[in-house]
Structure 1
Amino acid sequence: MTVDSIAVPRPAWRGLAPDWRWREGSRLTLALAAFVVLFSLLPMGRLIAAAFGGGVVAFWQVLDTPEVWRAARNTLAVAFGSGALALVVGTGFALVLSVTTLRARTPLAFILVMSLMIAPQISALAFKTLAGPASPLLKLVGLAPSPGTPNPMLGGFGIILVMGLHHAPLVAVTLASGLASIPRSLIEAALIEGASPWQVVRLIVLPLLRPFILTAALLVFVAGAGNFGIPALLGLPVGYTTLPTLLYRKLASFGPGTIGDAAAISMLIALIAGAGVIAAGLLMARAHSRFENDHRIEPFWMLGRWRPVVEIAVWGFVALTILLPLASLAATSLVPAYGVRLSWRSMTLAPYAEVLFRQDLTVRAFRNSLALSGATAISLGAMTLASAYVLDRARPKLRAAAFAVIELPYAIPGIVLAIACILLFIQPLPLIGVSIYATPLIILFAYHARFFAVALKPVLAAMATLDHAVEEAAICDGVPLRQRLCHIILPLVFPAVFAGMLMVFLLAFNELTVSALLWSAGTETLGVAMLSLEDSGLAAEAAAVAVSATALACLLMLAMQMLARRLPDNALPWQALAGPRTGRAGG
């Protein structure tokens, strides 16, 4: 008997590969297909049908009006202006955290990402309370503008400033991905040849980062074009409208033809954002294909005696742009009324007691946001386990295409998704004749569509790191798929599932852009309640809601940090931004 004639058994997993979907995974595959159709294709298809239902001429007639052109110009100005600021600030932070021996990089990265995770409307409210004539902090130090002075944060300048600072961490996280892929050998070779750290950054690092810088620029442009919370708080009070806030005002008017006009404007926003998303995706794919390596860059710029100076400058900037506005927000929540000077005698917790226990609107909003975000997080946790299992075993091109469709509702502006949901559910559902419009279920549906990709990403990353030997052995022993998922796969990827659930809860709890158009009496969310309080002139109560939501966001991020060691490398954005922990870096 020769070696070639010996029947070597193939692993059971390999035998399943050609017809895996039909032999035991067909139900999971069909479930994933149903998720994709329900949460991605149906809403966007309905929006496209409504926008172009009357033809291209009717679509153009809706857009060819002075108010739309003015809002479009403002949108582009805000998107380009805030994007440029975010690019400068975010690039600076990414380089400082990745290439210098700055200490305490992880806490610094945590605070930066926290400012991104905080809802945009909270950032806008924080800067608004800081710069106005009623600012408790400025009154405390005698620097408050005189009464009646316009708040400098209201209008285009304030929107660009706040939005640029809010989106800067997005640039930093994107560039951190590129910095992690630069081969360490290039840096070491340049330093051995006598190049200075600045020459390495200018001649090697920045040229290699060019695709990531372009990608980051496109991402912050898209985020700026679709942002609703910041223009709503800083633009609407002075009549400065962007396309998202114009859409909000049109739907609030309930005039004739409102839905058709809203669909057309939503389609314009989606086209602007979609072009940026597609270009960013193509650039990122090319960048990753060029720079894959296992030896990531490490801090090489030894600051030496300049390290305290750099640290003071970096932390001073963070304190001025992140911590000080949040402190102003907290101070505003501790005074009994608008314009009261903060002191030990005037300090009060009455606004917190009012919004947390007494006021029906805010109590209901807290309850609704907790229920909706919690239900979304739990159900998406279950959905992503099955979906990631299917996608991990799909062909690369099919997996990429499926995830692109799943990510579509998250990539487009939230206000566009809200219009799509209104169009989809404004009529009773077929067959059963029940309508979910103006109920909490439509918000729940929109949250599932928007945050499905957020919950799926960490689970996919964890699934890709698993060794399939244990599952192959279980297949050989005849263990069915359901038991393998529950007793083998789930215990291994549960930290990633839980991290995705926490991330979804964090984003949904403070969400405003989607719920601003989908709420009805009794279904107000926390973002809607805060906007309503601010519009009503109840600044202290609005600030108390914002501070409470921010505190919860920090607690959730700390909970995810506790899971960091059980997650794949760089699964948490502030981990990726902080870079490797080395003795030289002191981080």
Structure 2
Amino acid sequence: MRQPRASGGEHLLVSLLVLYVAITTLWPLVRLFASAFQAGEDGAALGLMLSTLSSRSTLRALSGTLQTSLLSVAVSTLLGVALAFAVSLLKLRTRAALTFLILMPLIIPSQTMALAWIELSGAQSPILKPLGLAPPPGTTNPLYSMGGIAFVMGIEHMPLVFIAVRAALRALPADLVEAARILGIPPARIGRGIVLPIVMPSVLAGSLIAFTAAIGNFGVPALLGIPGRISVLTTLIYQRLNGFGPATAGQVATLALVLALMAALAILARNLVTTRIAVPLPAGAPFVPRRSAPLIEALLWLVVLVLSLVPLAALTMTALLPAIGVAFGPDTANLDQFRAVLDNQTVRRAFGNSLMLATMTAAICVLVAVPLAFLGVRRKNRLLRLLDMVIEAPWVVPGTVVALGMILAFLKPLPLIGVSIYGTSAILVIAYLARFLPLVLRPVAAAAHSTDPSLDEAARVAGAGLARRILSIFLPGILPAATAGAILVVMTALNELTLSALLWSSGHETIGVMVFALQYEGNSTSAAAVAVLSTLMVLALAAIATLAGRRLPKGTLPWMD
């Protein structure tokens, strides 16, 4: 079908969107990577990059990144595949609740997950200590190690594998499994010999996504690795900037480039897996589980509770104690820590800043995503495809890379106005906009493809202007998806740490920064109280999104069928 000729209004809209993406995304990334290719002190080409890559600290951090990431992927894959098989292939009475709890590590912020596991596994654990299972007093927390980092990151990224494998299992044709049953093949052999080979490409794809998330993770390596002297690239970048400031821009840009290349290779491998290795399945009715397994369901609940709720319970119990080392009980538990953090002006400011940043980011992302999706459906050309790829880049590459790009792009005063936004909330807003736009654009674009293009064409023929067609005809159809995307942005940005850790300044603290700073200072009970409050906010937003879930496009909310 021939596309209608673009109007002057559409040309202007495309130009404005290109300018927006160039300012928020393209220029910071170009500026970052250009800094990595500077000459060395002796004037040698690529001297700065070569000296940084050959340094002992870089090699140690690179080794730590690869080891912790690969180990965490092993944990994520093992747990994700097992849970996906159980939830998808068995008839479970509590499937919806189990699915939500399995995906909880994806909803809970990284630093909160790390802090929760620290409180659960330490010598003063309010849960393990009364049971006699906690480490001896005075010993180092076992999670302050490479294995500990990999374990916690593996649990955090497990839902990524679970989602990929479960999607493949839900597309499994029922005829295939029924034929195997008729032939008398045992269920275990059906799983190993028929189902697993079919879903293996999804297993590999999910594992590669988990690897991409692991190499860019900052919260877990910062809270577990810095005390345990385990260096990874994200924490090395943070420590370099925190210790030496923008003077080390070229060195940390090189480290960021390494992270970006690793992420790009993982994404490329994932695309090859999904396009070259994926098994084409015959059309047919999807597989519907018929076999009940009460014992396995009970075991599933035990595993999921340990993975998702028990650490949060330990975190909450710690927040109710007056100080670390005090035994938890009716006489010691109180709300004093919650009152203290809420009375703390800096903490209140951090909550206000995070709410402002998250809501502003969500609103602007919706304003940008709606016309982008409109043009994406109406105008399929190279420029829009290129724009879509650039928009995805800040979400795909590690957040540390995005933050460094923002520092280098906006450190100097802006042209014309002569004012630098470095050290202000404006740089955080720009970084959030670049990072989280895909969270809104994906569901909006999916909803846009299901709209009827003839309505827009009829309105255009009738003389309706571009703005009226978007607001009156296009927007009502994709508004539920835009709302869901906005909620996802608020949920994610509310406790963001990776960007904020490098971009915050005095007076512009965020919730994630406060949790990290309080724990880093040794004030574990206050850090736990702030983390619990922020988690309750996220869960409340998840509940609101779930209530509106029936009106949303399928797949918008990962925890809903």
TM-score, normalisation: structure 2: 0.95
What is the CA–CA distance in structure 2 between the aligned matches of 1:370 and 1:545, rounded to whole Å?
14
Deviation at residue 274 of structure 1 after TM alignment: 1.6
Q: Distance in 1 between matches of 2:541 and 2:282?
A: 32
Q: Specify the alignment match of 2:325 in structure 1.
A: 339
Asked whether 1:298 is paired with 2:284, we answer: no
Q: In 2, Cα distance between the equivalents of 1:296 and 1:411?
A: 34
Matched, 1:488 2:488: no
Counterparts in 2 of 1:286 and 1:260: CA distance versus 1, 3 Å: same
Report the equivalent of 2:435: 450
Shift of the alpha carbon at 1:301?
Answer: 5.5
TM-superposed CA distance for 1:556, in Å, is 0.9
The answer for the alignment partner of 2:47 in structure 1 is: 57
Deviations 1:77-120 (A, max 9, x none): 00100001101100111111212112211111111222211111
The alpha carbon displacement at 1:222 in A equals 1.3
Residue 28 of structure 1 corresponds to 13
If asked which structure has higher relative contact order (CA below 8 Å, sep 6+), I would say: 1
Of residues 113, 125, 147 in structure 1, which corresponds to 2:137? 147
Structure 2 CA distance for aligned equivalents of residues 135 and 512 of structure 1: 25
Alignment deviations for residues 21-71 of structure 1 (CA, whole Å, 9 cap, x no partner): x45422222233223322332111111100012232320111211111111
Q: Distance in 1 between matches of 2:38 and 2:390?
A: 23
Aligned equivalents of 1:335 and 1:101: distance in 2?
A: 42
Which residues of 2 match residues 277-426 of structure 1 at below 5 A?
277-286=267-276, 291=280, 295=284, 297-300=286-289, 302-303=291-292, 307-356=293-342, 358-395=343-380, 400-426=385-411
Asked whether 1:236 is paired with 2:226, we answer yes
Match of 1:534 among 501, 519, 526: 519
Q: In terms of mean alpha carbon deviation, does 144-153 or 165-174 score higher?
A: 144-153
Q: Partner of 1:395: helix, strand, or coil?
A: coil
Would you say 1:101 and 2:91 are equivalent positions?
A: yes
CA distance in 1, matches of 2:473, 2:301: 45
How far the C-alpha of 1:272 sits from its partner, in A, is 1.3
Aligned CA distance change for structure 1 residues 230 and 410 (closer, same or farther; 3 Å) = same
Q: Is the 8 A contact 2:213 2:398 kept in 1?
A: yes
Distance (Å, rounded) in 2 between the aligned partners of 1:533 and 1:441: 24
Correspondences of 1:461-476 after superposition (within 5 Å): 461-476=446-461
Unaligned 5+ segments in structure 1 are: 1-13, 577-587
Q: In structure 1, what is the Cα distance between the partners aligned to 2:213 and 2:131?
A: 36
1:252 aligns with 2:239: no
Equivalent pair of 2:123/2:136 in contact (CA under 8 Å): yes
Q: What is the letter of the counterpart of residue 345 of structure 1? A: D
Q: What are the superposed Cα offsets for residues 127-166 of structure 1, whole Å, 9 maximum, x if unpaired?
A: 1001111112223444433320211111111101111011
User: What is aligned with 1:7?
Assistant: none
Match of 1:264 in 2: 254
Q: 1:183 aligns with which of 137, 156, 173?
A: 173
Give the letter aligned to residue 330 of structure 2.
W
CA RMSD of aligned residues (A): 2.0
Identity of aligned residues (%): 38
Shift of 1:477: 2.4
Aligned length: 556
* Structure 2 unmatched runs, 5+: 40-44
Matched to 2:347, the amino acid is T
Asked if structure 1 preserves the Cα contact closer than 8 Å seen for 2:161 and 2:207, the reply is yes
Q: What is aligned with 2:22?
A: 37
CA contact (8 A) 1:438 1:518 kept: yes
Q: 8 Å contact 2:38–2:47 — kept in the other structure?
A: no
Report if aligned partners of 1:212, 1:287 keep a CA contact under 8 Å in 2: no
Which AA in structure 2 matches 1:31?
L
- Cα offset, 1:403, TM superposition: 2.5
Q: Whole-Å Cα distance in 2 between the matches of residues 422 and 480 of structure 1?
A: 40
Please state how far the C-alpha of 1:550 moved relative to its aligned partner. 0.9
